Structure 1
């Protein structure tokens, strides 16, 4: 089994949020907007790999400044990761995102993410 890449993980996160959850959980603070990832075991199941294959990829993504991992809370993007994941979602699934968020919320979120 070959090693997972951050791109594969981000693509899986995007597909889970858009097509399975039909929801995107944002956390908006004064400093940034973050997107909550699915639980690690769910992500691993979606990718058809053991969960311990996903953990090192998430650790590498944390080192690269894309995500923050918090024990017992989960994984969420930081400003850099939010911009990357959201742009990927918008590039591949714009109609679905608009259905989920609605035009006004999509515009507001896009504005916040682009200004960071």
Structure 2
């Protein structure tokens, strides 16, 4: 899966997150995960049928950018979180700060 394909899906995820005004973040021992919108929501945002999004997520899971949990949803891994936070920082910084607060957002996006 190319970086452009990953960015396309995660950019759509960022747009849906901003539209909803809600970000679910899970902090674990060595992981920071962000819950992604449903595949149907992402397909709608991208403007493609749902069944075209599913193979993309399978590849992203194989490449360790996301993890799927049955009946729970799709979460980013540390690699996916880094890309998604970069998109939120460069394209939706002010909107994300309104959701998370500037301090938390700045801590998450520290280099």
Q: Pairwise mapping of residues 1-116 of structure 1 onto structure 2 (< 5 A)?
A: 5-18=5-18, 20-111=19-110, 114=111
Shift of 1:90: 0.3
Q: Distance in 2 between matches of 1:95 and 1:66?
A: 25
Q: Distance in 2 between matches of 1:92 and 1:109?
A: 15
TM superposition score normalised by structure 1? 0.84
Give the number of equivalent residue pairs: 108
Structure 1 residues 7 and 108: alpha-carbon distance in aligned structure 2, compared to 1, 3 A threshold: closer
Three-state SS of the structure 2 residue aligned to 1:75 is: strand
TM superposition score normalised by structure 2? 0.88
Shift of 1:107: 3.0
Q: Distance in 2 between matches of 1:47 and 1:80?
A: 22
Cα-Cα RMSD: 1.6
Three-state SS of the structure 2 residue aligned to 1:38 is: coil
Structure 1 residues 101 and 69: alpha-carbon distance in aligned structure 2, compared to 1, 3 A threshold: same
Shift of 1:12: 0.3
* Gaps in structure 2 of 5+ consecutive residues: none
Shift of 1:16: 0.7
Shift of 1:83: 0.6
Three-state SS of the structure 1 residue aligned to 2:29 is: coil
